[in-house]
Amino acid sequence: MATNLTTATAEELQALALAQCDPACTAVLPYWPVWAAAQFASTDECKNLLQFVHVWSNGDVLQIESTDGHRAFRYRLPCYTPDGMPTLWRVPDQGMLLHAKPLRKAVSYSKLLTVTDEMRAVFHGGKKDALTELSSVNLAGHYSVNTAADCGKVGTYPNLNQLWPERYSNEPGKPWAFNATYLKEWCAVVEKLSHNGVTSCRGNSSSTPFVFRSSYVPRVGQHCKEPELELLLMPVLIRGQDI
């Protein structure tokens, strides 16, 4: 992993050192988007893969995502800076499956998340411009994921990107409705991570997915020019009555 050392911040240099000095470090990720994704993973023990935060890369973009079958979350990161240098972020070629339950509780002042080959998530951060190791949690032992290599063997995570509309008319035509709990949970994430607490909503019809978006304030590392948290949410269909 490389980065432009002449323009890197002190925290980015620390993150680089963490990844290079620990031979067991297999993934380097921004903490808060992973925490956000964990809020929208399934809590149903029967849904296996949907209980994980899924992280993968196509070489140009790294995506952090989750779903419970009714809604889907994603956050995208660049794998390269505009000048062509690799960013700090990395995952194994087969991607990562991070058991969401241990990640749902926020780790205050955390900025960076590293994951070892043995699926131990380590939180780094602090009140000042530092990346002190704050705590760690074991993610192994759920649905046969005990090592990083297992993440490519247990099954194929749903292709969430195919659910996102390519364009939006913003003319639903009929009244639409959403699960109030889902809206509350999304707004709680926006309130915590957005710079202004504002979320936008786009859609095409009262029976197709709506997409909520919010700005994100990065804590460390290289992000997109306009970082956005995204939630795809299916409307509630209320039959036989007007809203």
Closest CA to 12 of 165, 180, 207, 219: 219
- Is the CB of residue 212 less than 8 Å from the CB of residue 201? yes
First to last CA, the chain: 53
For residue 38, give the nearest of 102, 89, 82 by alpha carbon.
102
Is residue 221 within 8 Å of residue 12, measured between CB atoms? yes
* Residue extents of the structural domains in the chain: 10-233
Given pLDDT bands bounded at 50, 70 and 90, which one contains residue 7? Answer: low
Quote the Cα angle for 30-71-184, to 5°. Answer: 80
The edge-to-edge listing of strands for the beta sheet with 132-138 is 25-30, 110-116, 120-125, 132-138
* pLDDT tens, residue by residue, 55-84: 999 999 999 999 999 999 999 999 998 889
pLDDT for position 112: 95
DSSP track, 207-239: TS-EEEEEE----SS---SS-EEEEEEPPPP-T
Q: Which two tokens stand for residue 190?
A: 């926006």
Q: Are 66 and 53 in contact (CB under 8 A)?
A: yes
CATH of domain 10-233: 3.10.150.10
Q: Is the dihedral of CA 193, 167, 71, 93 positive or negative?
A: negative
Phi-psi region of 170 (alpha: psi -120 to 50; beta: other; left: phi over 0): left
Model pLDDT for residues 129-179, shown as the tens digit of each residue: 788 999 999 999 999 999 999 999 999 999 999 999 999 999 998 899 999
In one-letter notation, the amino acid at residue 118 is E
Amino acid identity at 69:
G
Q: How far is CA 12 from CA 2, 32, 201, in A?
A: 11, 16, 33
- Residue 3: the pLDDT is 45
Q: Which of 93, 69, 77 minimizes the C-alpha distance to 33?
A: 77
**What is the pLDDT confidence band of residue 2, given thresholds at 50, 70 and 90?**
very low
Q: In the structure encoding, which two tokens stand for residue 217, read together?
A: 């304030």
